Structure 1
């Protein structure tokens, strides 16, 4: 009986030590005998190369066809261009479908597998498929739905009400009709709205009169860097050479010009004809008015609205627009990449 208290303390210490050590046993086993040596799976939205899946699918089709003869293999089914597309069992295709020429479907099209066209591709209204790759031009009819990605080496047009949930890319140009939805798109030229006319490249205007007196209230924070704690207004027709930082909202009136970058903690408003030759960074929403131009990248935590006639980047120097939502009016033009993290819509 006299040893009972000592035994109890020993037992309590052993149990406590066991409770403390047990959580580290899996760590010890993993360190001694690693079981997770494979590379981590990267989500499709996180791959930096916007054409990654199109290039991988192209390589897969070429390798499969080269190694399995002229007809088919276990992963690719070939549709001869001489065979009517309407006669092909699209809905029952369990393998990737390769068309050895141009694809023109006039009836309904609902395919559960990716489609490769060795030429142009014309899809009907209401087509449904996970992915599309064509070596020519692609015309996706109204209400087309692509659940993963689509790419054309030439010009790709998406009809009214069409939706591509992930990546939409083209080697020459993209044309998105009104009501179409997108997430991440890339092309040398992106037309929001079906149009054959491209906006003229904006020319750098000569420096105007000196900045108005109220800009002297800005606090210099480096060579050609100006900062304000609150809102900033650059009056119509004036220009600022340098980087403009504001803790509030920045508004560029009509034909105002910034030879540098703009960064606002809240919102940015560009009225008709305003230009920013550098980057545009904003913690709120950005409104880019008619006939405006931004030459550098646009990074926005909120929504970006592109008015008709606005232009992002140039064909010679493409750029990137990234925002939570992108609302682009018909007639807006972008060069490079547009990434809407939540949703992108072409409005009338």
Structure 2
């Protein structure tokens, strides 16, 4: 073998070794077939419905061109007369192989509204021009509804789900992202990773909290807080216990634990190096950020971001963000009690759990701290407060 041939062979072997780890990703990009959850990072959380928008655009173009494939996958377009999956209507047009295996690899698009058949897993995307209702206990790669999307009891979505209005029933699991253009409602206990909508409703809504004073005093001078008037910020160099019904203006940074009594009002942001706990009815007009766990009691209101490097627990009836001013709740572990309303995004880096009928704090069994599992927060969130 000549010297040039030797170098060519060495280069080819090196390139093959480098490309082997990338082959699964290249196959997924060319022809996405696997039905496994996708990892969600900070960039995904900033644009939660990106996958749904991109798929909707590609599907619309394929339908305009009367294509029978999309991304090399067979595309089936259902007319309105062939959509009923119930025994009294037309059977779902599955092949014999799909019925035997209990799953479909084809991509489905339905005109009008559709009820998906029972006992069939869909490993490719399913879309409906109007309403889309999943089957109880079924598994789906991705779902898209032009109007309402209903995730039935015990169903699970592996990648993403999107609709104008989305309802998640008891026992559903969303392993990827679930987004809505208008409202996303979780009716009972459910597991999630990323939720996003102008209005996120966990269970039945609760009555609004009473109005708070427009002007707030500085906190009691006997508290261990060093106030910097020019910066509009106070620093507690040790653990801080704020008495109930205290109010103040300005940001507050706790170098240790921060515990607020019931009915406190902070016209500013809070940041804690360790855990941060807020009593029932507390209102915070800025961000709440902590390295330790954040625990908000019943009926708390936070207008800004709630971010923890460990865990967030939202008590019954908490409200995060405001209409037209979306906010984000993010932590590796998140627990949400009944009656909570969030305007914006709830992103659990590892696991999110919606709990139905849980009074007070979302869970009596705190999630163990796991700082190493923290999601990467955007720089503006790290620097807040």
TM-score by length of 1: 0.82
Separation of aligned partners in 2, 1:43 and 1:269: 30
Question: Among residues 195, 202, 223, which one is paired with 2:231 in the alignment?
Answer: 223
Separation of aligned partners in 1, 2:40 and 2:355: 27
The superposition leaves residues 10-52 of structure 1 with CA deviations (integer Å, 9 ceiling, x where unpaired) of: xxxxxxxxxxxxxxx99xx99xxxxxxxxx9996534331111
Q: Aligned ranges for residues 178-189 of structure 1 at < 5 Å?
A: 178-189=188-199
What is the SS of the residue equivalent to 1:213?
coil
What is the SS of the residue equivalent to 1:54?
helix
Q: Name the residue aligned to 2:367.
A: none
Q: Name the residue aligned to 1:114.
A: 125
Question: Among residues 141, 150, 156, which one is paired with 1:145 in the alignment?
Answer: 156
Q: Aligned ranges for residues 222-241 of structure 1 at < 5 Å?
A: 222-241=230-249
Q: Does 1:260 align with 2:268?
A: yes
Question: Among residues 332, 343, 347, which one is paired with 2:351 in the alignment?
Answer: 343
Q: Name the residue aligned to 1:81.
A: 80
- Offset at residue 143 of structure 1 (A): 0.5
The superposition leaves residues 216-265 of structure 1 with CA deviations (integer Å, 9 ceiling, x where unpaired) of: 64253842111111111222111110010011111111111110010000
Q: Does 1:124 align with 2:145?
A: no
Determine if contact 2:209/2:299 at 8 Å carries over to the other structure.
Answer: no
Determine if contact 2:242/2:259 at 8 Å carries over to the other structure.
Answer: yes
Q: Does 1:51 align with 2:49?
A: yes
Determine if contact 1:201/1:314 at 8 Å carries over to the other structure.
Answer: no
**Between Structure 1 and Structure 2, whose CA radius of gyration is higher?**
1
Determine if contact 1:109/1:126 at 8 Å carries over to the other structure.
Answer: no
Separation of aligned partners in 1, 2:155 and 2:192: 12
Determine if contact 1:202/1:293 at 8 Å carries over to the other structure.
Answer: no
Of stretches 225-234 and 78-87 in structure 1, the one that deviates more from structure 2 is 78-87
User: Please, what is the CA RMSD of the aligned residues?
Assistant: 2.6
Of stretches 213-222 and 90-99 in structure 1, the one that deviates more from structure 2 is 213-222
Q: Does 1:168 align with 2:166?
A: no
The superposition leaves residues 70-129 of structure 1 with CA deviations (integer Å, 9 ceiling, x where unpaired) of: xx4464211122114432226453331100110123633421111001001112211211
TM-score by length of 2: 0.74
Of stretches 209-218 and 223-232 in structure 1, the one that deviates more from structure 2 is 209-218
Determine if contact 2:118/2:138 at 8 Å carries over to the other structure.
Answer: no
Q: Aligned ranges for residues 272-311 of structure 1 at < 5 Å?
A: 272-311=280-319
Separation of aligned partners in 1, 2:272 and 2:181: 34
Determine if contact 2:282/2:299 at 8 Å carries over to the other structure.
Answer: yes
Unmatched 5+ residue regions in structure 2? Answer: 1-9, 16-25, 30-37, 86-90, 357-385
